[in-house]
Chain A
């Protein structure tokens, strides 16, 4: 019985982790049709921001929840103004430019921080479930994923910002019709997407540590999850994460981590063959 609970928890944790690493990318893709291949490095930067702040004496929670998203969000706005803005409507070019950005960020962080930055330990201690123990922080991250999804949904559903965002998702000209400059919408969207990545990067730092190349571990999974999810930011990401995360964890438990990983990838390929526009490209088209 304990084992079943712990298994279920592990699946939730895997799904939550996919949601978290994909969300920033999904916001930017869903709203702007821009694939940010530097997404992994945005997460990495969030981790460095949190750890640097923490080592400078900032409270851990403040460092993870405020400093990291703020830093990366601002960085995102700068990137949008300097690079992305010139490439709207050119999907492939934005992918290439952000990829260049990702390489440059890895190089830059290596030069500035070196690669032996000490990490921070996960707070909150551990939980005991029957004969098993699990990190309370992992459970906290499941909670964070839920909160972020719920908050995103509320913003899109109920606020003026959300209205503008939904309009822009349907039709890029809509923002102008609502009296907002599309350029501003894009800058804000990219900033929010980047801030989300920064937040998640900060939150994951205690579990994964920070090295300049950590982004590579995230980007492929995030990319695959977002594209499998399709155009709807929240439901697409949530459904794709649920599906892929469950398959991954189940296969990992039953066999080995490699088979888990390969099962996830094969599932994504088959999914895209059946639904070439992603899950929400076919179903739940009107979802958020």
Chain B
């Protein structure tokens, strides 16, 4: 398949293109003055709560790089697409970014489904791709860098911590999709490894809002702690109904997903919940304090999550690699990133793991307290052990799939 012969007739195509993407084609006249970078994040629809802050941090990172003189003597031009929480638009915008805008890199995707929609496309069109969301792990593809944490990195630290604190009998509730399913398996594995027992695991579709029956089932099971991997707006109801039943005073909660929920729930509902992420707003470093201040102030985002902070790290990791490679050529940049690229920012130090194209990152255990998370303990430079068990891009550079990680319990 050759797309190049069509360039000859681009003028005609621009006319047709104007119908579906009017505002863009005028800017193309001066395209060579910029290095174009695309962000594809849902800023409307059900996922906008994350998408908006990811767009903000991406904008911040790009502005910082431009203020410091840009890259290779050029300014970065950021093109944002809003796929409206609809997979179909990911396909369309990724194709547009790669083939029409010819961007140097695409950052984006929130759900795993959206990542898997655009990953093969961007590989086909030879466009570098950064996915900055914590996810279930297992993606093995040399064209993508996954900067978010995976369950093994966070669950491994969280489970022993809360078991030591609260007890050995665990009840798991998780969102019913790949991420929740795999997280639940890791919870089970680490609980057993630490001499405990998961008495029950319940899965909830992402639109369930009524947790009454479950709360009663949990009471009947009498666990020492509840491990939550609930996700999304509907599932916030669980924390409310849990507190309304007075259960938050009875059985403690731990989670690897309770993040932005801290803004939406009240202190009575969330105080005491213990979480583990690769980033928490309460990280006590000057870099993070400045970062949080800018995001709150200039961008009006009330609370920063790992997704948005890792997006910020991701953009900087890419920019540093471009400088090092002295080129935006995809293979050269990948080479520079694989050569142990590392960035220290608000989330601490993030290092690219060449074998998996995931990151070695700092993990923080924190406690929700009055709409914030206090850092209780931090673990520096945790390797992506789960993906590493199935993926070795040094050995198999042509690998191109998401492995299902077999969690041995």
Contacts and interface: CB of A to CB of B under 8 A. Distances in A.
Direct contact of A and B (CB under 8 A): yes
Interface of A: 3, 6-7, 10, 13-14, 17, 107, 110, 115-122, 125-126, 131-135, 137-138, 206-209, 211, 213-214, 216-217, 249, 252-253, 256-258, 260-261
Given A118-B265, A119-B265, A207 B241 contact: yes
Contacts of B205: 257-258, 261
Interface in B333-374: 371
Contact of A208 (B217, B240, B246): B240
A207 B246 contact: no
B237 A207 contact: yes
Contact of B233 (A206, A214, A252): A214
A233 B49 CA distance: 38
Contacts of A115: 48-49, 233
Contact of B240 (A117, A121, A134): A121
Given A14-B212, A115-B233, 11 more contacts: A3-B220, A10-B212, A110-B44, A117-B264, A119-B264, A135-B241, A138-B212, A138-B245, A208-B240, A211-B264, A261-B208
A107 B247 CA distance: 35
Given A110-B44, A116-B260, A209 B237 contact: yes
Contacts of A134: 215-216, 245
A70 B207 CA distance: 29
B213 interface: yes
A165 B52 CA distance: 48
B34 interface: no
A204 B232 CA distance: 18
Given A117-B264, A121-B269, A10 B213 contact: yes
19 contacts: A17-B210, A110-B44, A116-B303, A118-B265, A118-B266, A119-B265, A122-B243, A125-B246, A126-B244, A126-B245, A131-B219, A138-B241, A206-B244, A207-B237, A209-B236, A211-B233, A253-B216, A257-B210, A257-B213
B214 interface: yes
Contact of A258 (B176, B234, B246): B176
Nearest to B214: A257
Contacts of B212: 10, 13-14, 138
Looking at chain B, what size class is its interface with the partner chain?
35 or more
B203 interface: yes
A111 B303 CA distance: 18
A252 to B, nearest CB: 5
Contacts of B247: 126, 133
Contacts of A207: 237, 240-241, 244
Contacts of B193: none
- Residue picked from A126, A214, A216, most chain B C-beta under 10 Å: A126
- Residue picked from B202, B214, B240, B265, most chain A C-beta under 10 Å: B240
A257 B244 contact: no
Contacts of A121: 240, 243-244, 266, 268-269
Contacts of B240: 119, 121-122, 206-209
B330 to A, nearest CB: 36
Given A17-B210, A209-B236, A258-B205, A138 B264 contact: no
B205 to A, nearest CB: 6
Interface of B: 44-46, 48-49, 176, 202-205, 207-210, 212-217, 219-220, 233-234, 236-237, 240-241, 243-247, 250, 260, 263-266, 268-269, 302-303, 371
A10 B216 contact: yes
A206 B244 CA distance: 9
The 3 closest A-B pairs by CB, nearest first: A126-B246, A135-B244, A122-B244
B244 A138 contact: yes
A217 B266 contact: no
Contacts of B241: 122, 135, 138, 207
A118 B371 CA distance: 10
A135 B245 contact: yes
A6 B217 CA distance: 10
Contacts of A110: 44, 48
A17 B237 CA distance: 14
A256 B214 CA distance: 9
A116 B244 contact: no
A138 to B, nearest CB: 7
Given A17-B210, A121-B240, A253-B213, A133 B245 contact: yes
A134 B208 CA distance: 19
B406 to A, nearest CB: 24
B207 A208 contact: no
A114 to B, nearest CB: 8
A118 B207 contact: no
Contacts of B244: 121-122, 126, 135, 137-138, 206-207
A213 B206 CA distance: 13
Contacts of B217: 253
A6 B245 CA distance: 12
Nearest to B215: A134
Contacts of B234: 214, 217
Nearest to B45: A213
Given A3-B220, A214-B233, A133 B213 contact: no
A13 B214 CA distance: 13
Nearest to B222: A131
B2 to A, nearest CB: 42
Contacts of A214: 209, 233-234
Given A115-B48, A119-B265, A208-B237, A249 B213 contact: yes
A135 B49 contact: no
- Residue picked from B205, B245, B264, B303, most chain A C-beta under 10 Å: B245
B250 A133 contact: yes
